[in-house]
Amino acid sequence: MPEGQVPYRIQKRIEALKVLVWAGIAVLLLAYGWVQLIKRREMQDLALRQAVKNRATPAPRGIIFDRNGHKLVDNRRALHLVIQAEELPNDPSLVEDLATRIQRDPDDLKRRIALSRKAGGNHMVVIQDNLDDAGLAQAELLRARFPFLSIQTAPRRSYLGDTLAGHALGYVGEVDEKILEKNPERFHLGEIIGRNGFEATHNDEIRGVDGMRKILVDHLGREMALYGVQEAVSGRSVYLTLDAGLQQILKEAFGEENGAGVVIDLRDGGILALYSSPSIDPNVFLNRLSQEQVDYFMRNPVKPMLNRVTQGLYPPGSTFKLLVALAAMEKGILKPETTYHCAGHKVFYNRDYRCDGVHGTMNLVQAIAHSCDVYFYELGMRLDVDDINAAAEKYGILEKTGVDLPHEGTSRVPSRAWAKKYRPKEPKWYAGETISVAIGQAQNALTPIALARFYGMLATKGKLLTPHLFFGFRNEQTGQLDPVRPPPPRDANLDPKIWSVLDEGLFQVVESGTAKASKIPGLSMAGKTGTSQVTTFVDKAHYAKLAKKLKDNALFAGYAPRENPQIAFAVVAENAGFGASSAAPIAKKLCEYWFLTRPKNPLPPPSSKVPEAMKLEPEVVE
């Protein structure tokens, strides 16, 4: 082999190596090209998913105003300790440790995390909400121990009137597993929605649209910069038909008494005031309830969660006599001049029925004015129970009023068919039972809102209105009301001649009858007192010894002013005694405010300054 010449074998190896090198370079180039040209978008997305985190931005719900622009429900800024969707821990021991440190049930926290993982999406799991200064300091310590925790800003509901209109407004809460199962396409886990009251029935009108923030993070998961924003869209603000001033008067009038009161605008059925006592403060339900609170709200025999206006069922007592008189006149068995004699009691079907007084001989108007039971016992003996039931159906008592609040109760007036269906052990209806039905006792049970609607029908000479709270949307540019057309009334075809007799009787109740102590100088009010028994008693001496919970319920229903009715109302004061002494004075206060005080000192119009007495600024956590 000549000197300096590379051996053939080595030369072959070098050439093979060169081929391999060039092949490797070619493979790299092809791989690079494949990544850059074909997989570029996928690799970018992967890199972004690792570097950019999505943070859902909860949308504020619409603000709620009363009809005069008083803010009843607002939003404020709150700080929550949360676990973002992409940070959900997999280690059960970590979750148990966290739960122990924040005094939560470990199984409950595990279940919430598992549900969130199953639901998917970018929505966070709230661990602690509405952090104050102490809670914020504790949260920072927890974040050092549990890196998957973060602090999120979110809007939080603030009910400015506290217990002023708790049952009307309702409250909000998180979407739980049960709600999600029923509405998987409508809600997402952890979303804040209306859970009761107006907040629930009009949730779709006042809920907003959540936004999204894209955050650029480093390799340790620390937020470095804002990558992109999709702004949350606030829900639409609304006006209610409620009048905050009248609502306050109604609340104060009840004081410590339990019961219900409602006032309806006879122009369109708008609810001017609605109060159920005891009331609730919706702010309480924004926090996790203590066991003591759970017991009070859920196991309390007083039932504070019950909206007595729309769900409470009460024997209507003598307020029911107007329907009985109406049914009797329509059947032709009663004329306005028909008289019966009251000696304080009378025997029907071998049983002695008593009256609250000795009224002597009375016609219909007098019997209504002085609430003579004997007169209506006589009508009950002559009417069939199915006649009374048919009149109740015709004049809207047996149907739900259609009020825009959840879980409205259905009033009850018995019939033979009712007895067969609901009294299988005693399906036969006895004539003697109709006598008690005729004075609003026995199996009669009406919701206060149904009673108010019936008296509104009398006030409007036969129009059946649909009570409602939703007045309209707030124009965000002008702050003014954009009204929503209310449901049209239905004509019940009330005979004008019959109406005039009933109207005169109701006027005489206040003018010279059982409610004359509640007469308002300068204002003609028409109404009917009622007293419904809770238990039986022998005589007045026996009644005086009964415990408070066994005393009679007091009722008053009516309308005002008589000449040109503007409002109808119903008041029920539980275990408060007699309608004339307990319920009628509440109605008097309502009418005094509405017709005398309010015109002289009106509430400010929408978008004007709220008086200091009503101004409760929500706390803002900086």
> What pLDDT digit, counting tens, does each position of 500-511 carry?
999 999 999 999
Give the mean pLDDT of 430-449: 95
pLDDT-derived band at 619 (thresholds 50, 70, 90) equals very low
Give me the pLDDT at residue 144, please: 86
Reduced to 3 states (helix: H, G, I; strand: E, B; else coil), residue 608 is coil
pLDDT-derived band at 338 (thresholds 50, 70, 90) equals very high
In sequence order, the β-bridge partners of residue 351 are 348
Classify residue 33 as exposed, middle or buried by CB count within 10 Å of its CB (0-12, 13-18, 19+): exposed
Of 583, 562, 571, 554, nearest to 452 by C-alpha is 571
Cβ pair 113, 83 in contact under 8 A:
yes
Question: Cis omega before residue 561 (within 30°)?
Answer: yes
What's the count of helices (H) and strands (E) in the chain, helices before strands?
A: 22, 23
183, two tokens: 């509405």
The share of the chain scoring above pLDDT 70, in percent, equals: 86
Give me the pLDDT at residue 611, please: 33
pLDDT-derived band at 362 (thresholds 50, 70, 90) equals very high
* Number of Cβ within a 10 Å radius of residue 415: 22
Cβ pair 429, 398 in contact under 8 A:
no
Tokens 């990544």 -> residue: 35
Question: Cis omega before residue 606 (within 30°)?
Answer: no
pLDDT-derived band at 40 (thresholds 50, 70, 90) equals low
Averaged confidence pLDDT in the chain = 87
pLDDT above 60 (res 82): yes
Give the mean pLDDT of 102-126: 83
DSSP letters for 375-405 = HHHHHHHHS-HHHHHHHHHHTTSSS----SS
Give me the pLDDT at residue 247, please: 95
268, two tokens: 């369109």
pLDDT-derived band at 31 (thresholds 50, 70, 90) equals low
pLDDT above 80 (res 608): no
> What pLDDT digit, counting tens, does each position of 139-186 carry?
888 888 888 888 888 899 999 989 999 999 999 998 877 887 787 778
pLDDT above 90 (res 28): no
In sequence order, the β-bridge partners of residue 213 are 55, 229
| Distance from chain centroid for Cα 126 | 25
> What pLDDT digit, counting tens, does each position of 52-65 carry?
677 778 899 999 99
Q: Which residues make Cβ contacts (< 8 Å) with residue 268, sequence separation at least 6? A: 465, 486
Q: Is the pTM of this model over 0.95?
A: no
Higher pLDDT pick, 422 / 24: 422
* Segment of 100-104, 144-148, 459-463 carrying the highest mean pLDDT: 459-463
Of 341, 382, 332, 329, nearest to 501 by C-alpha is 329
Cα angle, residue 365 at apex, residues 360 and 366 outer, rounded to 5°? 25
Give the span between the Cα atoms of 272 and 288, in whole angstroms: 32
381, two tokens: 């003996």
Higher pLDDT pick, 53 / 91: 91
> What pLDDT digit, counting tens, does each position of 536-573 carry?
554 555 545 556 666 789 999 999 999 999 999 999 99
The helix (run of H) or strand (run of E) holding residue 93 is: helix 92-101
Give me the pLDDT at residue 72, please: 96
Give me the pLDDT at residue 67, please: 93
Cβ pair 546, 552 in contact under 8 A:
no
Radius of gyration for the alpha carbons in the chain, expressed in angstroms and rounded: 35
Q: Which residues make Cβ contacts (< 8 Å) with residue 113, sequence separation at least 6? A: 83, 88, 89, 95, 125
Give the span between the Cα atoms of 114 and 125, in whole angstroms: 10
pLDDT-derived band at 515 (thresholds 50, 70, 90) equals very high
Give me the pLDDT at residue 499, please: 97
pLDDT above 80 (res 340): yes
